[in-house]
Amino acid sequence: MNSKIYQVQNFLKSYFGVFLSIGLGVFLFILFYQPFPLDDFDFNNHLILISGFAAIVFLIMIIIRISFLLFILNINPRTTLPVFIQGFLIFVLSSVAFAFYLYYVGKVPISFYIMLKVSLICLAVPIILWLYDFIKHLKISNILLSEERKSLQKQITEYQDNYMNQPVVFTSDNGADTIKLMNSDVAFIRSADNYVEVVYLETDEFKRKLIRNTMKGIEQQIKAYSNFIRCHRICIVNIHFIEKLNKSNDSYHISIRGYEEKLPVSRQYLLRLKEIT
């Protein structure tokens, strides 16, 4: 019982202003456009009579929505009845109530033309409600997606931090020599005759180490690290050190953050580099 009361309280907090606004909209529309012949009433009674239309719409919206909230939707929690059923009921009950109100209170003869006006006015009510619900749903979905994106970005950042702090071991072709550096410190690797030159950052200064191996052999050793990408047959670069991909005439080259020399880029690897820079 308490949970149902709590549901109703939350519902009224969320929708009371909306229902009141729609009711006020109906009142103003009928007041200014005068779709019904209500000339037999003086000004004060005229306003009271028009207020009745707004009250009808207001009460029917509350009754239908609360009924669905407390009873109909709780028959089977896994079943959500289509929203258009609520709108259809609001439309039908409002139209019938308007017709009776016009005939018995407003003393207006009911004709096809009058009922057409009634139908159009009452049809606008569920349409406005549907638009409000739709926009509200989009806002909630946007908030949830933003929170999910932030959560994923946090996980990706944590993963990258852990990933970049892993050591990378470069081994010579005969296994006699090894170079062990942090993943995040290695800027690029390039061929140097029978050796491979590893350029890395240490205390904000670029340094070099040579190890006897081929580019193909080194590429096999670091293939588990996705932050290294081949940019030329003689170069492998750490994508986190790429500052910019530049074009000069018909050739391309890469600028490395804090490093004066530029690395060549061959057309074979150009498309992939454009995707990540």
pLDDT for 86-107, tens place per residue?
899 999 999 999 999 999 999 9
The per-residue pLDDT for 185 is 92
Q: What are phi and psi of 103, to 5 degrees?
A: -75, -45
76 has a pLDDT exceeding 50: no
The per-residue pLDDT for 73 is 54
Angle at 173 between CA 169 and CA 177, to 5 degrees: 55
177 has a pLDDT exceeding 60: yes
The per-residue pLDDT for 75 is 43
Distance CA 135, CA 131 (A): 6
Q: Sorting pLDDT into bands at 50, 70 and 90, what band is 80?
A: very low
Q: Sorting pLDDT into bands at 50, 70 and 90, what band is 72?
A: low
Q: Sorting pLDDT into bands at 50, 70 and 90, what band is 77?
A: very low
Q: What's the average model confidence in pLDDT over 236-248?
A: 91
Q: What's the average model confidence in pLDDT over 133-148?
A: 91
124 has a pLDDT exceeding 60: yes
Q: What's the average model confidence in pLDDT over 26-31?
A: 95
Q: What are phi and psi of 208, to 5 degrees?
A: -130, 145
The per-residue pLDDT for 189 is 96
The per-residue pLDDT for 5 is 77
40 has a pLDDT exceeding 60: yes
Distance CA 224, CA 254 (A): 23
Of the chain, the percentage scoring pLDDT greater than 70 comes to 95
* Residue 228 and residue 196 in contact, taking contact as beta carbons nearer than 8 Å: no
Q: Which CATH class is domain 167-276?
A: mainly beta
Q: What's the average model confidence in pLDDT over 114-140?
A: 93
Give the 3-state secondary structure percentages of the chain, helix then strand then coil, rounded to 5: 60, 20, 20
The per-residue pLDDT for 85 is 86
128 has a pLDDT exceeding 90: yes
Domain boundaries, the chain: 2-157, 167-276
Distance CA 76, CA 126 (A): 24
Q: What's the average model confidence in pLDDT over 197-225?
A: 92
Strands (E), the chain: 167-171, 178-182, 186-192, 195-202, 205-212, 228-232, 235-238, 242-248, 251-256, 259-265
Place of tokens 């005439």: 249
225 has a pLDDT exceeding 90: no
The per-residue pLDDT for 79 is 43
78 has a pLDDT exceeding 80: no
- pTM recorded for the entire structure: 0.61
127 has a pLDDT exceeding 80: yes
